[in-house]
Amino acid sequence: MWGIELQRKSEVPLKRQIYLALRDGILSGKLQAGEALPSTRELAHELKVSRNTVNEAYDMLLAEGYVWSRQGAATRVAEGLRLDKEPASEPPAQGEAPLSLLADFRTGHPDLRQFPRYVWQQLAQKTLQAMPPSLLGYTGPQGLPRLREEIAAWLYRSKGLTAMAQNIFITAGATHALHVIADLLYEEGKEILVEDPCNRGMMQTLHNKRYPLTPIPVDAMGLLPEYLDGKRACAVYVTPSHQFPLGGILPASRRAALIRYARETGSYIVEDDYDSEFRYYGDPVAPLYAMDPERVIYVGTFSKVLFPALRIGYAIVPDKLHGRWRQLRTHTDVQNPPFEQAIVAEFLHSRKFDRHIGKMKKLYRERRHALLTALKECFGDAWRPWGDAAGLHLAVEFPGMSFDDAFAQCGRQNGIRITPVEYHCIRKGAHVDKLLFGYGHLEPDEIDKGIVLLRDFMAQSRALPCIV
Amino acid sequence: MWGIELQRKSEVPLKRQIYLALRDGILSGKLQAGEALPSTRELAHELKVSRNTVNEAYDMLLAEGYVWSRQGAATRVAEGLRLDKEPASEPPAQGEAPLSLLADFRTGHPDLRQFPRYVWQQLAQKTLQAMPPSLLGYTGPQGLPRLREEIAAWLYRSKGLTAMAQNIFITAGATHALHVIADLLYEEGKEILVEDPCNRGMMQTLHNKRYPLTPIPVDAMGLLPEYLDGKRACAVYVTPSHQFPLGGILPASRRAALIRYARETGSYIVEDDYDSEFRYYGDPVAPLYAMDPERVIYVGTFSKVLFPALRIGYAIVPDKLHGRWRQLRTHTDVQNPPFEQAIVAEFLHSRKFDRHIGKMKKLYRERRHALLTALKECFGDAWRPWGDAAGLHLAVEFPGMSFDDAFAQCGRQNGIRITPVEYHCIRKGAHVDKLLFGYGHLEPDEIDKGIVLLRDFMAQSRALPCIV
ipTM: 0.81
Question: Do B60 and A318 lie within an 8 Å CB cutoff?
Answer: no
> Where residue B258 falls among pLDDT bands split at 50, 70, 90?
very high
Can you tell me the mean pLDDT for A135-153?
92
B282 to chain A, any CB pair closer than 8 A? The answer is yes
> How far apart (Å, rounded) are the C-alpha atoms in residues B210 and A387?
42
Question: Do B309 and A335 lie within an 8 Å CB cutoff?
Answer: yes
Smallest CA–CA distance from B259 into chain A, residue: A83
Q: How far is B323 from chain A (nearest CA, A)?
A: 9
Can you tell me the mean pLDDT for A145-166?
93
Degrees to nearest 5, angle at CA B207 with A188 and B243: 165
Smallest CA–CA distance from A328 into chain B, residue: B208
Is the pLDDT score of A89 beyond 70?
no
Q: Which of A283, A295, A303, A305 to mutate to test the interface with B (most CBs of B within 10 A)?
A: A283
The β-bridge relationship of strands B416-417 and B103-104 is parallel
Minimum mean pLDDT range among A220-229, A359-368, B64-73:
B64-73
> How far apart (Å, rounded) are the C-alpha atoms in residues A197 and B371?
62
Helix or strand holding residue B236 (H, E): strand B233-238
SS3 B437: strand
Which pLDDT belongs to residue A346?
Answer: 94
- Fold matches, A14-77 and A103-108+355-461: no
> Where residue B142 falls among pLDDT bands split at 50, 70, 90?
very high
B266 to chain A, any CB pair closer than 8 A? The answer is no
Give the largest CA-CA distance in chain A: 96
Among B286, B280, B242, B287, CA closest to B387: B242
Answer positive or negative: Cα dihedral of B426, B428, B434, B436: positive
Residues of A in Cβ contact (< 8 Å) with B328: 208
Is the pLDDT score of A63 beyond 80?
yes
**Which alpha helices (H) appear in B82-223, and where do they start and end?**
117-130, 145-159, 174-185, 200-208
Question: Do B338 and A80 lie within an 8 Å CB cutoff?
Answer: no
Q: Which of B263, B333, B336, B344 to mutate to test the interface with A (most CBs of A within 10 A)?
A: B333
Question: Do A283 and B56 lie within an 8 Å CB cutoff?
Answer: yes
Question: Do B249 and A63 lie within an 8 Å CB cutoff?
Answer: yes
Question: Do B294 and A172 lie within an 8 Å CB cutoff?
Answer: no
Smallest CA–CA distance from A131 into chain B, residue: B117
Q: How far is A461 from chain B (nearest CA, A)?
A: 31
Interface of B with A in 135-194 (CB under 8 A): 135-139, 156-157, 159-160, 171-173, 175-176, 179, 183
A282 to chain B, any CB pair closer than 8 A? The answer is yes
Write the pLDDT tens digit of every residue in B33-48.
888 999 999 999 999 9
Which pLDDT belongs to residue A28?
Answer: 84
Can you name the CATH fold of B116-353?
Aspartate Aminotransferase; domain 2 (3.40.640)
Residues of B in Cβ contact (< 8 Å) with A307: 136-137
A283 to chain B, any CB pair closer than 8 A? The answer is yes
Q: Which of B205, B308, B320 sits opposite A331 (nearest CB)?
A: B205
> How far apart (Å, rounded) are the C-alpha atoms in residues B448 and A290?
55
**Which CATH superfamily groups domain B103-108+355-461?**
Aspartate Aminotransferase, domain 1 (3.90.1150.10)
Write the pLDDT tens digit of every residue in A341-395.
999 999 999 999 999 999 999 999 999 999 999 999 999 999 999 999 999 999 9
Interface of A with B in 196-255 (CB under 8 A): 201, 204-205, 208, 221, 249-255
Residues of A in Cβ contact (< 8 Å) with B295: 86
Is the pLDDT score of B125 beyond 80?
yes
Is the pLDDT score of B92 beyond 70?
no
> Where residue B468 falls among pLDDT bands split at 50, 70, 90?
very low
Q: At residue B65, what is the residue type?
A: G
Which pLDDT belongs to residue B86?
Answer: 64
> How far apart (Å, rounded) are the C-alpha atoms in residues A15 and A52?
9
Average pLDDT across chain A, whole number: 90
Can you tell me the mean pLDDT for A266-277?
94
Q: Which of A17, A136, A263 sits opposite B112 (nearest CB)?
A: A136
Instruction: Give me the total of CB pairs closer than 8 Å, taking one residue from chain A and one from chain B.
Output: 298
Residues of A in Cβ contact (< 8 Å) with B221: 65
Buried b (16+ CB within 10 A) or exposed e, A275-302: bbbbbeebbbbbbbbbbbbbbbbbbbbb
Percent over 90 (pLDDT), chain A: 65
CB B221 within 8 A of CB B387: no
Smallest CA–CA distance from A162 into chain B, residue: B20
Can you tell me the mean pLDDT for A246-263?
94
Minimum mean pLDDT range among A114-128, A148-162, A180-194, B94-108:
B94-108
Is the pLDDT score of A464 beyond 70?
no
> How far apart (Å, rounded) are the C-alpha atoms in residues B385 and B458?
18
Is the pLDDT score of A467 beyond 70?
no
The β-bridge relationship of strands B233-238 and B191-196 is parallel
Can you tell me the mean pLDDT for B82-91?
62
The β-bridge relationship of strands B384-386 and B393-397 is antiparallel
Question: Do B332 and A208 lie within an 8 Å CB cutoff?
Answer: yes
Can you tell me the mean pLDDT for A49-72?
89
Minimum mean pLDDT range among A339-348, B119-128, B363-372:
B119-128
Smallest CA–CA distance from A9 into chain B, residue: B157
B256 to chain A, any CB pair closer than 8 A? The answer is yes
Residues of B in Cβ contact (< 8 Å) with A19: 160, 283, 286
Q: Which of A12, A307, A312 sits opposite B136 (nearest CB)?
A: A307
Q: At what angle do helices B338-349 and B117-130 cross, to 10 degrees?
A: 110
Among B148, B24, B111, B51, CA closest to B357: B111
Can you tell me the mean pLDDT for B218-233?
91
Residues of B in Cβ contact (< 8 Å) with A56: 282-283
Write the pLDDT tens digit of every residue in A113-126.
898 888 888 898 88
Residue B93 vs residue A187, higher pLDDT: A187
Which pLDDT belongs to residue B210?
Answer: 84
Minimum mean pLDDT range among A185-189, B313-317, B345-349:
A185-189
The residues with which A301 forms a beta bridge, in sequence order, are A313
Smallest CA–CA distance from B209 into chain A, residue: A183
Is the pLDDT score of A318 beyond 50?
yes
Write the pLDDT tens digit of every residue in B179-213.
999 999 988 889 999 999 999 999 999 988 889 99
CB A196 within 8 A of CB A427: yes
B394 to chain A, any CB pair closer than 8 A? The answer is no
> Where residue A463 falls among pLDDT bands split at 50, 70, 90?
low
Which pLDDT belongs to residue B353?
Answer: 95
Write the pLDDT tens digit of every residue in A416-432.
999 999 999 999 999 99
Residues of A in Cβ contact (< 8 Å) with B291: 27, 83
Which pLDDT belongs to residue A98?
Answer: 56
Which pLDDT belongs to residue A91?
Answer: 47
Which pLDDT belongs to residue B149?
Answer: 95
State which CATH number among 3.40.50.1000, 1.10.10.10, 1.10.3210.10, 1.10.10.60 fits the domain covering A14-77.
Answer: 1.10.10.10
B428 to chain A, any CB pair closer than 8 A? The answer is no
Among B161, B181, B193, CA closest to B315: B181
Q: Which of B83, B136, B155, B442 to mutate to test the interface with A (most CBs of A within 10 A)?
A: B136
Can you tell me the mean pLDDT for A450-458?
95
Average pLDDT across chain B, whole number: 90
Question: Do A27 and B256 lie within an 8 Å CB cutoff?
Answer: yes
CB A158 within 8 A of CB A348: no
Q: How far is A420 from chain B (nearest CA, A)?
A: 21
Residue A99 vs residue B362, higher pLDDT: B362
CB A40 within 8 A of CB A51: yes
Question: Do A65 and B263 lie within an 8 Å CB cutoff?
Answer: no
CB A299 within 8 A of CB A174: yes
Q: Which of A16, A173, A327 sits opposite B160 (nearest CB)?
A: A16
A258 to chain B, any CB pair closer than 8 A? The answer is no
Question: Do A330 and B201 lie within an 8 Å CB cutoff?
Answer: yes
CATH 3.40.640.10 for domain A116-352:
yes
Residues of A in Cβ contact (< 8 Å) with B107: none
Question: Do A309 and B137 lie within an 8 Å CB cutoff?
Answer: yes
Q: Sheet harboring A393-397: ordered strands across?
A: A384-386, A393-397, A434-438, A419-420
Write the pLDDT tens digit of every residue in B333-353.
889 988 889 999 999 999 999
Question: Do A309 and B335 lie within an 8 Å CB cutoff?
Answer: yes
A15 to chain B, any CB pair closer than 8 A? The answer is yes
The residue ranges of every structural domain in chain B are: 14-77, 103-108+355-461, 116-353
